[in-house]
Each structure stands twice: as structure tokens, then as C-alpha cells.
């Protein structure tokens, strides 16, 4: 295929356009138009349509964007604007030519933005950077994998290596990867979930015995009330808006709890329905509570208090006594604790009015079936785990778990992050899983817990981790405390990245570095026994197949299972009972092992071939059984703690724009928030702007304020006056990651607190120096 030159439009961050207020509605015609335009331009019509119409269809591929589930009856348009962007970005025919690597040094490439890098096209050759050199050079697969195997064999202890996973990886690749890593001898398995829904896993695991949503797709349309907390579905889970619309149509209510009036939370124009295209769309949120950052735990306790008060007024009618007696423990302690709640503290923490809280409590009490959903606004908080436990408390009080139309619903991010966990990607898999893994492959897996994402950087920093490998993702951009993280990463001896596109993690490396280019999920995966498919699990525990839909962009790519299988053969060989060569040829062999090792995956090969896949067992949802020490759901007592914000400082949250997928930047606009042409933005309340003597549009520097006294600063951001609560500001991730201290983590889950960082804002020390790429965050002397 002739090289298509990538079209990269560089932006000048001084020319950002701000178009007034946030949009009131999400989707509609512009969404479809915006989504198709880049696809057609970059890919050619037939590849674009070929890819798009296979997305989320029963014999097509799973959309590589978010983990939102598919309805049983699918429309031919079972995709959203964000999914089209993801597919276009992945399935582009543009490739990076071999000469690129001699032309560009790593030092030079580190000046480039993630946007520019992603637009260079697909990686198609294994690349090696020897120690002491500043360039990658193409190498063959055997040489590349041989280097990895040699370095792994040379380490003093398997615990000197860490193996990261990002959540786009299929079940088959993930299962094989964790097998390889455990057979090698370590549990150092950091993953993107450590920075994402880890707090959900802990908060739910300790109370109801499962870390996954207790709802099915159909429950959304059956609910009387859905409370969305800390989530921006219009951008991050757009197809969820259809489910919310179904709920409304059936008479349900929707409440949004968010510091920002996000577009999709208000009104939705469904682009897949005629009335959505032509009409005004559906008004979604019946109530919007504009909460302060970190105020949710106080709000939830306040609602629970009102539930107890209502019960006192009308004994026997408010709490679900039958459910509580049969299935729960801890009611008396919870009640005692909640009744002591200080109402003033609640108002201070939430920034809400009493009437707003009363109204939400009233809605909760009137509804028989309630779902509470949440995402990063809840999990990436110091009190994230405790807040999720309060969500569970509130739901349990009225029996809202394990009945139709009700439940707890953490809405997962990456399309297979949940499946990867099910397959064993976790630094602390329980003994039962390790037992059955060891039995299946005849070896003794390591038992000691490994390092998670944050811990991996601490250990790199002090020299305990020397080898780093990543199955997808872009950890150096995704992790907090960019300067600390980069300084830690460059101390390692070797870094290896299995990737589809160039990103910053390829440029901030160990002494030696390798890039291993792999097939994307959209592509056909042809092996010796024929065309293979893989499988994934969505946010409501449905496991289903994903078949590639377009020709691979290069014949030189290996699939992720193939890379791992080859490494297994080289590093582990017959030390365990594994057929490494067989796994690459026929993924059914991997699935046979999965069916014997992973609970709930029995007869995997047969059930994965059923239309629509199958549903994993879920005790709380299916039968109100709780896998806790006593077999009961636990109502927990959690102490409220005010979020500290010293005089003169602001609380910063870092979030996603409409034109990005985590660290992948598709473009420089954030349409629903009215931003065009740039990402160095600080959304601020007009009152704060005035009090600090700033002006809308002014260039400012943002300084981190943290107990360790380390200087963390990002420069030349532009103030945008925005309806965010007073004292609360917002900037985009990953640019803001510089400001999140590495040890500023959620209690009990070690998740970086990316949604509440104390900062100080000052007028810019120097004028901006021009285009974005000249303003790169850091320089690393690798
Ligand atoms: N298009 C697109 N889709 C994606 C992604 C993407 O980058 N782009 N990323 C995927 C991934 S990995 C994930 S985890 C999900 C993330 O999905 P979201 O969690 O929706 O992502 P964020 O942009 O971090 O948005 C956080 C939301 O929480 C609100 N918030 C912040 N702090 C608080 C708080 O203290 N309380 C409350 N109540 N709200 C708060 C913010 O205002 C914002 O609306 O999306 C997935 N889907
Ligand atoms: N400050 C702040 N930090 C955050 C967050 C935040 O809200 N604020 N959010 C956190 C969250 S929720 C998450 S999930 C993490 C995300 O952390 P990661 O999952 O590590 O990051 P991504 O940006 O999703 O990874 C993108 C890269 O994955 C590679 N890739 C894409 N598809 C494939 C594939 O099919 N196979 C392979 N092998 N590689 C592929 C591409 O090369 C691409 O550059 O970031 C976290 N960091
Ligand atoms: Mo995530």
C-alpha cells in the first residue's frame, strides 16, 4: 500500500476559541457528521464504512472505545461518534515508514504532542533502541523477542520486572499474558484499572462481595430512578444516553450529580432515531446537583440520614426490612453513625442547598427501583472507596440490589478492562485463582502480592524494578506526577511496549527499549489454523466474541496472543505444561484453559460462539448472594473527612475532552464545552477569576500545593470562565497529570486522586512561546 501522508494540523495554543456556554444537549446531527468526516477523509469510503458497520454487530468486532454494553436488539448503527473516532484512529491505512526512525531522534520526538504522534500512523515494524543511543531502528521479530527473553532471564529476581496491561487487551491475550508472567515468577501486574475503577473494586468487594455492576442492560429501562454520579456519559459513554432515554420513556427519573453541567446530562438528541435528528431531543436529567469536588460522600450520607428519618416517622414502611434482615448486617451501627451526621458539614462539603438534598432524598424514597451509576468523579478521590461504600449503604437500605431495575453500576472505561481482571490481570489475584492456575499448568504461581501502577513507579525510582513491559496503553502519560514518573522510568534497564501507535511511553524509556507492533481489534487475525476471533467482557458482565473486520494495515504485525505465546516459548518453555506454539495457531486452546481456570467461564469455547455471548454469574444480581465472610451484604460505617483546601488555593479536577481517548488526542476541540483549537485550558468559576484578580482569557500558570514541597507547575494555560462551583477548577488529563502527586492516592485502593488536587493559580510568568509542541511538559535526559 502506498504511504498516505498523515494530515496533521498543528495548533497554536494562543489561538484557542471559546464559544460561550456549555452546550445544553449531546449528540444529534453534528455528532454523526463530525464522526463520519474524519473516517472518510483518512480511510477511504469503503474501509471506513466496512469498519464502522461491523462495530458492535453480532459477527463484527467489539468497539475498541468504552465498555458500555450492547442491547439485545441491535440497530445497524450500534456505534457512537467516539467509537467511530476510535476505529478511524486504529484502522487508518497511514503507516510510519522505516526512514522515520533514522530521521527522528527520541529527544526530538519528546518535543511532540500526543496528538502529533498518534497522527503519524500505525507502527508496523519491531523497533529497538540500544543502550546509549537516541534512535530506534527496525529489527526482525526474532531479534526483538530474543532481546526481551535474554534480559528477563538475566534479572536477579522475577520481581525486578513489572508487566503493565491496558484495558483494550482481549481475554485471550490477557489470560496468556498473566500465565506467562506468573510462570516467570512475579505478581507485578500493574494495570490501567489501578488508576481507574480500583476504588469500585474495593468498595464493592468489601460490602457485597463483587467488584462489578449488579445490573443488566435491561435494568436501565426498568428503573424508576437513575442517579448518575461523577460521570460524563455524553462524551465518555455516549451509547448510555440511549439507555437513559429508554428509562425516561418508561416514566423513570434521572438525577445527575456533577460539578459541571455536562451536555449529555441535560438533553439528548438520539442520532439513531428520527425524532432525535429532527426534534428537540429528550430532556434527560430531572434534577442536576452541582456538587463541589469530593462532596459526594457527604451527600450520600445526608440522603441515608433522610431515609432513616423517614423510617422513624413511618416505621416499617421505608426500609426494606425483609431484605435487610435476611441479607445484610451492620444496620444498627450504620444508623447510629449516620444520625450523628452534621448537617452544616454536609452543606459545606457539597456546596448544595438543603432543598436540593431534600428533593433528591424525596425522589429516592418515592422510587421502588433505583440504579446508581458512577465513574471517575467518584473513584479518583481520596475518599473514593468510602464513597462507593456509601453508595452501597444507600442502595441496601431500600433493597435496591438484586431486583429488576435496581443496582450499583460502576461504568467501566476501557472496552475490556473488566474482562482483563476476570482473566487474572491483577497484582493481588485471590488464592483460589492461583491454585487453579497452578493446577492447570502444573506449576506453583507466586503468592506474594505484586506492585500496582503507583507502586511500580516507586520501585522503579528506588531501583527495585529494572524491566518494564506494557501490553498496550501509555502508562507514562496516564500515571500521575509526570516528572517523578519520567525520572523513575528512565532509571530502568529496559522498557518494552506492545502498541499500535506511537505515544510518549515509547520515548521515555529504559536504557534499552523495544516497540512491538501488534494487530488492532478491528483487523483480521489469520493464523495457521484459520481466522481467529477474541473475546471481551462489558461493564454488565456479558462476555462475547469480537471478530476483526478489515485487512491488517501490514503483514508484519503479530497478534497480542502471538507475541505473548512466543515469549512464553522463549522464556518459560516446558517449565510448565503449556503448548505455547499451539496457542498462537489456535485461540480455542487458550479458551479451553480459561474454561477450566476462571470461575464462570466453563465451556467457554461453546458459549462464546452463542449469539451475543453469555453472562458471567453475579451473586448479588442473580440471587442476592454475597461472597463476603458472613455471606451477608455489609452496611459500613465511614467517617466523613473534609477535603482540605487552604486559603487562596483551588481544587483541580483533571478530565477528558470530547476529542480524546485517555492519552490519545484525536483533535483540539471540546465541542460540548465550547472550546475550539486547544487543550491548555483552566475552567474557572467567574467569582474565583474576579477574586484572584484575573480575567477571562488570561494566560496563567498552575502550581501544585502539596505537603512534600516539590514544585509542580504547568505553564501558560488559558483561563476560561465556566459554570464550575466556586473553588473548583478543571483542566484536561493528561496535561494536568504533572500536578497530581504520586503519593496523593485514594485510601484503600491506591488510585491517584486525579479529581481533587490543591493548586494555586498565578498570572503566567512568561508569555506563551508559540505552538503547543514547543511547550512540551518536560525534558528527559534518557
Ligand atoms: N470518548 C471517550 N470515551 C471514554 C474515555 C475517553 O477518554 N474518551 N475514557 C474511558 C475510560 S478509561 C474511562 S475510566 C471512562 C471515564 O469516564 P468519566 O468518568 O465520565 O470521565 P472524566 O472525563 O474523567 O469525567 C469525570 C466526570 O466526573 C465529574 N466529577 C469530577 N469530580 C467530581 C466529584 O467530586 N463529584 C462528582 N459527582 N463528579 C465529579 C466531572 O465533572 C466529569 O463530568 O470513559 C471511558 N470512555
Ligand atoms: N490525571 C488523570 N490521570 C488519569 C485519568 C484521569 O482521569 N486523570 N484517568 C485514568 C484512567 S481512568 C485510565 S483507564 C488510564 C489510561 O491509561 P492507559 O490505558 O495506559 O492509556 P490509553 O491512553 O488508553 O492508552 C493508549 C495507547 O494504547 C495503545 N493501544 C490502543 N489500542 C491498542 C491495542 O489494541 N493493542 C495494544 N497493544 N495497544 C493499543 C496505543 O498505542 C495508544 O497510544 O489513565 C488514568 N490517568
Ligand atoms: Mo479508565
Q: Are residues 121 and 139 in the same domain?
A: yes
The answer to whether residue 779 is domain-embedded is no
Name the residue of 65, 168, 213, 231 to mutate for ligand 1: max ligand atoms within 8 A of Cβ.
Answer: 231
Q: Are residues 312 and 343 in the same domain?
A: yes
Q: Are residues 121 and 146 in the same domain?
A: yes
Cα distance between the two ends of the chain: 35
Name the residue of 88, 166, 199, 236 to mutate for ligand 1: max ligand atoms within 8 A of Cβ.
Answer: 236
CA dihedral 766, 767, 771, 776 (to 10 degrees): 10
Beta strands in 166-236 (DSSP E): 225-229
Q: Cα of 236 to ligand 2 centre, how many Å?
A: 13
pTM value? 0.95
The answer to whether residue 424 is domain-embedded is yes
The answer to whether residue 749 is domain-embedded is yes
Ligand 2: does its nearest atom lie under 6 Å from the Cβ of 516? no
- Residue 484, CA atoms < 13 Å, CB-side half-sphere: 25
Report the nearest atom of ligand 2 relative to the CA of 479. Answer: 47
Q: Grid coordinates in use for 401?
A: 440490589
Q: Are residues 165 and 46 in the same domain?
A: no
Name the residue of 87, 232, 659 to mutate for ligand 1: max ligand atoms within 8 A of Cβ.
Answer: 232
What DSSP assignment string belongs to 517-573? EB--TTB-EEETTEEE-EEEE-TTSEEEEE---B--S-TT-B-HHHHHHHHHHHHTG
Ligand 2: does its nearest atom lie under 6 Å from the Cβ of 499? yes
Q: Residue 644: what are its φ and ψ, rounded to 5°? A: -80, 135
Residue where a domain stops, chosen among 618, 638, 673 = 618
Parent domain of 252: 198-410
Ligand nearest to the CA of 195: 2
Beta strands in 25-117 (DSSP E): 25-27
User: In sequence order, what are the beta bridge partners of 702?
Assistant: 714, 761
Q: Are residues 203 and 189 in the same domain?
A: no
Residue where a domain stops, chosen among 375, 395, 410 = 410
Report the nearest atom of ligand 2 relative to the CA of 740. Answer: 1
Successive 10-residue mean pLDDT values, the chain, 782 residues? 63 76 67 60 72 76 85 73 84 93 98 94 97 98 98 98 98 98 98 98 98 97 98 94 94 97 83 60 90 98 98 98 98 98 98 98 98 98 98 98 98 96 98 98 98 98 98 98 98 98 98 98 96 96 94 97 98 98 98 98 98 96 97 98 94 96 93 93 98 97 96 96 98 98 98 98 86 43 36
Mapping DSSP onto H, E and C, the string for 654-686 reads EECCCCEECCEECCCCEHHHCEECCCCEEEECH
Measured over the CA atoms of residue 425, residue 426, residue 428 and residue 429, the dihedral's sign is negative
Residue nearest (by alpha carbon) to ligand 2 atom 26 = 473
* pLDDT computed for residue 28 by the predictor: 54
Residues with CB under 6 A from ligand 1: 65-66, 82, 196, 229-232, 235-237, 257-260, 262, 291, 293-294, 296, 375-377, 381, 413-414, 653, 655-656, 660-662, 755
Ligand 2: does its nearest atom lie under 6 Å from the Cβ of 168? yes
The answer to whether residue 630 is domain-embedded is no
Ligand 2: does its nearest atom lie under 6 Å from the Cβ of 475? yes
* pLDDT computed for residue 269 by the predictor: 75
* pLDDT computed for residue 778 by the predictor: 38
Q: Cα of 634 to ligand 2 centre, how many Å?
A: 33
Structural domain count, the chain: 4
Q: Cα of 196 to ligand 3 centre, how many Å?
A: 4
Residue where a domain stops, chosen among 355, 382, 410 = 410
The answer to whether residue 383 is domain-embedded is yes
Q: Are residues 358 and 421 in the same domain?
A: no
Q: Are residues 220 and 124 in the same domain?
A: no
Closest CA to 276 of 253, 236, 228, 242: 242
CATH number at 206 reads 3.40.228.10
Radius of gyration (Cα) for the chain, nearest Å?
A: 25
The answer to whether residue 631 is domain-embedded is no
The answer to whether residue 248 is domain-embedded is yes
CATH number at 697 reads 2.40.40.20
Mapping DSSP onto H, E and C, the string for 351-387 reads CCCHHHHHHHHHHHHHCCCEEEEECHHHHCCCCHHHH
Report the nearest atom of ligand 2 relative to the CA of 518. Answer: 38
Q: Are residues 242 and 387 in the same domain?
A: yes
Report the nearest atom of ligand 1 relative to the CA of 654. Answer: 24
Q: Are residues 348 and 375 in the same domain?
A: yes
DSSP state of 292: P
Q: Cα of 452 to ligand 3 centre, how many Å?
A: 15
The answer to whether residue 3 is domain-embedded is no
Q: Are residues 115 and 76 in the same domain?
A: no
Q: Are residues 259 and 186 in the same domain?
A: no
Q: Are strands 282-283 and 267-269 parallel, antiparallel or unpaired?
A: antiparallel
Q: Are residues 154 and 287 in the same domain?
A: no
Length of the chain: 782
Q: Cα of 473 to ligand 2 centre, how many Å?
A: 4
Amino acid at each position: 500500500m502506498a504511504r498516505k501522508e498523515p494530515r496533521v494540523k498543528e495548533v497554536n495554543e494562543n489561538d484557542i476559541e471559546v464559544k460561550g456556554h456549555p452546550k445544553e444537549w449531546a449528540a444529534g446531527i453534528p455528532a454523526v457528521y463530525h464522526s463520519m468526516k474524519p473516517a472518510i477523509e483518512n480511510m477511504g469510503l469503503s474501509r471506513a464504512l466496512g469498519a464502522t458497520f461491523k462495530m458492535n454487530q453480532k459477527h463484527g468486532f467489539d468497539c475498541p472505545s468504552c465498555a458500555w454494553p450492547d442491547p439485545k436488539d441491535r440497530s445497524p448503527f450500534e456505534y457512537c461518534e467516539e467509537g467511530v473516532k476510535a476505529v478511524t484512529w486504529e484502522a487508518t491505512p497511514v503507516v510510519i515508514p522505516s526512514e522515520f526512525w533514522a530521521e527522528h531522534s527520541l529527544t526530538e520526538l519528546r518535543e511532540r504532542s500526543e496528538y502529533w504522534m498518534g497522527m503519524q500512523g500505525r507502527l508496523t515494524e519491531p523497533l529497538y533502541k540500544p543502550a546509549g543511543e537516541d534512535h530506534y531502528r527496525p529489527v526482525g521479530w526474532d531479534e526483538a523477542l530474543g532481546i526481551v527473553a535474554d534480559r528477563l532471564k538475566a534479572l536477579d529476581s522475577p520481581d525486578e520486572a513489572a508487566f503493565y496491561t491496558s484495558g483494550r487487551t482481549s481475554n485471550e491475550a490477557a489470560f496468556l499474558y498473566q500465565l506467562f508472567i506468573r510462570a516467570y515468577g512475579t505478581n507485578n501486574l500493574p494495570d490501567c484499572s489501578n488508576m481507574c475503577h480500583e476504588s469500585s473494586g474495593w468498595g464493592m468487594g468489601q460490602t457485597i462481595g463483587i467488584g462489578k455492576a449488579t445490573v443488566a442492560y435491561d435494568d436501565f429501562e426498568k428503573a424508576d430512578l437513575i442517579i448518575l454520579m461523577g460521570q460524563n456519559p455524553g462524551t465518555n459513554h455516549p451509547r448510555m444516553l440511549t439507555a437513559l432515554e429508554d428509562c425516561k420513556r418508561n416514566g423513570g427519573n434521572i438525577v445527575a450529580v456533577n460539578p459541571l453541567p455536562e451536555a449529555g446530562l441535560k438533553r439528548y438528541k438520539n442520532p439513531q432515531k428520527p425524532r432525535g435528528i429532527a426534534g428537540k431531543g429528550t430532556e434527560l436529567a430531572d434534577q442536576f446537583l452541582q456538587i463541589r469536588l469530593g462532596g459526594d460522600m457527604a451527600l450520600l450520607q445526608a440522603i441515608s440520614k433522610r431515609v432513616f428519618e423517614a423510617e422513624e416517622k413511618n416505621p416499617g414502611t421505608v426500609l426494606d426490612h425483609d431484605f435487610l434482615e435476611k441479607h445484610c448486617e451492620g444496620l444498627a451501627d450504620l444508623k447510629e453513625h449516620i444520625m450523628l451526621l452534621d448537617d452544616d458539614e454536609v452543606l459545606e462539603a457539597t456546596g448544595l442547598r438543603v432543598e436540593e438534598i431534600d428533593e433528591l432524598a424525596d425522589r429516592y424514597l418515592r422510587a421502588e427501583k433505583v440504579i446508581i451509576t458512577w465513574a471517575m468523579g467518584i473513584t479518583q478521590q481520596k475518599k473514593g472507596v468510602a464513597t462507593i461504600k456509601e453508595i452501597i449503604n444507600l442502595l441496601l437500605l431500600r433493597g435496591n440490589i438484586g431486583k429488576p431495575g435496581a443496582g450499583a453500576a460502576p461504568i467501566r472505561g476501557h472496552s475490556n478492562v473488566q474482562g482483563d481482571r476476570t482473566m487474572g490481570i491483577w497484582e493481588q489475584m485471590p488464592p483460589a485463582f492461583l491454585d487453579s492456575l497452578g493446577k492447570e499448568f502444573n506449576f506453583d504461581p507466586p503468592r506474594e502480592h505484586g506492585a500496582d501502577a503507583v507502586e511500580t513507579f516507586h520501585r522503579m525510582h528506588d531501583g527495585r524494578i529494572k524491566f518494564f513491559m506494557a501490553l498496550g496503553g501509555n502508562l507514562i502519560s496516564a500515571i500521575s506526577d509526570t516528572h517523578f514518573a519520567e525520572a523513575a522510568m528512565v532509571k530502568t534497564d529496559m522498557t518494552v511496549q506492545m502498541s499500535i501507535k506511537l505515544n510518549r511511553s515509547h520515548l521515555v524509556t529504559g536504557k534499552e527499549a523495544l516497540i512491538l507492533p501488534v494487530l488492532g481489534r478491528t483487523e483480521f487475525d489469520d493464523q495457521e489454523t484459520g481466522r481467529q476471533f477474541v473475546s471481551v467482557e462489558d461493564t454488565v458482565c456479558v462476555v462475547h466474541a469480537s471478530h476483526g473486520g478489515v485487512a491488517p494495515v501490514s503483514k508484519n504485525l503479530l497478534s497480542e496472543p502471538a507475541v505473548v505465546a512466543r515469549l512464553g516459548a522463549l522464556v518459560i518453555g516446558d517449565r510448565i505444561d503449556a503448548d505455547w506454539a499451539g496457542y498462537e495457531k489456535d485461540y480455542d486452546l487458550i479458551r479451553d484453559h480459561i474454561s477450566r481456570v476462571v470461575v464462570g467461564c466453563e465451556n467457554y469455547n461453546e458459549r462464546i460462539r452463542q449469539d451475543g455471548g453469555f453472562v458471567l454469574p453475579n451473586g448479588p444480581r442473580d440471587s442476592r448472594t454475597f461472597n463476603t465472610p458472613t455471606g451477608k451484604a455489609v452496611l459500613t460505617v465511614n467517617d466523613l473527612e473534609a477535603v482540605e483546601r487552604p486559603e487562596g488555593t483551588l481544587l483541580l479536577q483533571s478530565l477528558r475532552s470530547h476529542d480524546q481517548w485517555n492519552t490519545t488526542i484525536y483533535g483540539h476541540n471540546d465541542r460540548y464545552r465550547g472550546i475550539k483549537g486547544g487543550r491548555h485550558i483552566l475552567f474557572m468559576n467567574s467569582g474565583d477569576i474576579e477574586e484572584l484578580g484575573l480575567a477571562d482569557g488570561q494566560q496563567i500558570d498552575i502550581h501544585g500545593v502539596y505537603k512534600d514541597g516539590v514544585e509542580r507547575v504547568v505553564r501558560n494555560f488559558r483561563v476560561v470562565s465556566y459554570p464550575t462551583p466556586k473553588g473548583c477548577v478543571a483542566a484536561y488529563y493528561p496535561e494536568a497529570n504533572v500536578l497530581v502527586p504520586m503519593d496523593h492516592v485514594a485510601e484503600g485502593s491506591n488510585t491517584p486522586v486525579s479529581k481533587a488536587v490543591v493548586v494555586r493559580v498565578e498570572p503566567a510568568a512568561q508569555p506563551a512561546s508559540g505552538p503547543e509542541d514547543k511547550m512540551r511538559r518536560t525534558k528527559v535526559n534518557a
